[in-house]
């Protein structure tokens, strides 16, 4: 698998080799607000993850990135979610931090990592998209808004997608 010409390598989580492709990542990073169990990626990545390790990871592949912005986004999201817990009993910040680590492992643009850290804030706190824009700019606001919209899409499986393509070709 590759992103922008960069080859992605598998990484290990709890002795499972997981090769993340863009399609798998899109499904994985969909915010499962109603899950009752513990997200496998979240639980295993965050066990050793922190904002400091995220910043070091990003610095290793994007040394010119605005690392202060990443720390600010983490602190902002952490403060916004303070006292909130998911159904799994994990602190709310665990999921965005795990998602940010997954993207950093894939060497994704740090601006997208910032938006990932913030993606649950307007949905699940009193903070609005306008406040995100005031603090982080319009680009981050648009990315957060896009991630929020993606989370509302339902993945109906590859079989349904293939069936829709088949119907379209027959109609042509």
Could you say which DSSP state residue 65 is in? S
Integer-rounded Cα radius of gyration of the chain: 17
State phi, psi for 2 to the nearest 5 degrees.
-150, 155
Catalytic residue among 123, 131, 133, 145: 123
Q: How far apart are CA 61 and CA 36, in angstroms?
A: 35
Give catalytic status of residue 124 as yes or no.
yes
Catalytic residue among 66, 124, 131, 133: 124
Q: How far apart are CA 92 and CA 89, in angstroms?
A: 9
Give catalytic status of residue 109 as yes or no.
no
SS3 153: coil
Report the catalytic residues: 123-124
């Amino acid at each position: 698998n590759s992103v922008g010409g960069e080859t992605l390598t598998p990484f290990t989580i709890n002795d499972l080799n997981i090769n993340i492709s863009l399609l798998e990542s899109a499904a994985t990073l969909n915010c499962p607000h109603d899950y009752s169990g513990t997200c496998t990626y979240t639980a295993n990545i965050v066990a050793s993850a922190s904002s400091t390790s995220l910043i070091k990871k990003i610095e290793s592949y994007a040394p010119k990135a605005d690392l202060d912005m990443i720390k600010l986004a983490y602190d902002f999201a952490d403060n916004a979610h303070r006292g909130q817990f998911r159904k799994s009993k994990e602190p709310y910040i665990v999921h965005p931090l795990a998602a940010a680590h997954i993207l950093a492992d894939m060497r994704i643009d740090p601006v997208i990592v910032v938006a990932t850290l913030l993606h649950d804030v307007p949905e699940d706190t009193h903070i609005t998209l306008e406040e995100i824009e005031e603090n982080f700019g319009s680009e981050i606001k648009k990315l957060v808004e896009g991630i929020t919209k993606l989370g509302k899409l339902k993945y109906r499986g590859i079989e349904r997608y293939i069936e829709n393509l088949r119907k379209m070709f027959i109609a042509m």
